Every structure is written in structure tokens, then in C-alpha cells.
């Protein structure tokens, strides 16, 4: 008869030691971070092509920033935090927040850039 919750777990005998488990989680987190980082750069490059005359960069902590030809600056979330856009029309002005219809499971950088560019075309 089981005497503790651990005894009820048929996989308890297969648990990894804490040091190995920690390293496994670190690798998994690192792999996801690397993938999101690369996706952020790809979105920035595609957005740069879509917004002629603008300068687009991807930087820590996962923000795509577009310096628009009009002088407006748009900070676009990123793959880690969602693709919400804050647009500052003039330096120091209150930002306008745009909600962009980018699905949480969208991974195609060209499609994400297309949706961001569509939202930003009016600025």
C-alpha cells in the first residue's frame, strides 16, 4: 500500500537527479530563447524591406523598433512578449498602442512582418 504521494507516481523511479534536471531545463529554455531571438531578427529584416525609407532593428529584450520615414518610432513587442505596437509620433509624445492581429502560434517571420507593416503604414 502506498505511504506517500511519491509512492503513487509510477514514474518516480525515473526522475532525473536535480543537477541533471536543472541542466535539461536550462537547455530547453535556451533553445526556445535562441529560436525566438532568430525569429525576431528575421521579422526585423522582413519589416525593413516592407517599410521603405525606415530603419528597423531588433534588440534586447526582444523588441523590434522601427524608425519610420515620417519620424515616428514604433516599438513592436516581439516573439517573446507578443506583437503589440507602441507608436510615438514625435519624440517625447505619448505613445499610441496598436493591437496587431498576429496569432500566438504564427512563426513565419514574413507573415508577422506583413501584419506589422500593414498596421504601421498609416504612421
Q: How far apart are CA 36 and CA 28, in angstroms?
A: 12
Q: Give the per-residue pLDDT at 83.
A: 76
Q: Give the per-residue pLDDT at 104.
A: 77
Q: How far apart are CA 18 and CA 113, in angstroms?
A: 41
Predicted confidence (pLDDT) per residue in 26-56, tens digit: 555 566 667 777 888 899 999 999 999 999 9
**Burial code of 97-114, b = ≥16 C-beta within 10 A, e = fewer?**
ebebebeeeeeebeebbe
Asked if residue 58 has pLDDT above 70, the reply is yes
Among 22, 17, 51, smallest CA distance to 119 is for: 51
Mean pLDDT is lowest, of 40-44, 79-83, 95-99, for 79-83
Average of per-residue pLDDT across 92-102: 88
Report pTM: 0.68
Kind plus residue range of the DSSP H or E element containing 56: strand 55-59
Kindly list the domain boundaries of the chain, sorted by start residue: 16-120
Amino acid at each position: 500500500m502506498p505511504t506517500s504521494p511519491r509512492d503513487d507516481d509510477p514514474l518516480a523511479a525515473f526522475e532525473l537527479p536535480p543537477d541533471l534536471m536543472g541542466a535539461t531545463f536550462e537547455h530547453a529554455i535556451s533553445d526556445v530563447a535562441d529560436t525566438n531571438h532568430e525569429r525576431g531578427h528575421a521579422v526585423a529584416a522582413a519589416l525593413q524591406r516592407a517599410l521603405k525609407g525606415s530603419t528597423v532593428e531588433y534588440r534586447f529584450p526582444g523588441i523590434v523598433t522601427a524608425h519610420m520615414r515620417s519620424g515616428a518610432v514604433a516599438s513592436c513587442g516581439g516573439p517573446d512578449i507578443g506583437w503589440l505596437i507602441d507608436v510615438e509620433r514625435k519624440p517625447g509624445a505619448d505613445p499610441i498602442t496598436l493591437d496587431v492581429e498576429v496569432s500566438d502560434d504564427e512563426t513565419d517571420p514574413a507573415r508577422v512582418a506583413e501584419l506589422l507593416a500593414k498596421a504601421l503604414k498609416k504612421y
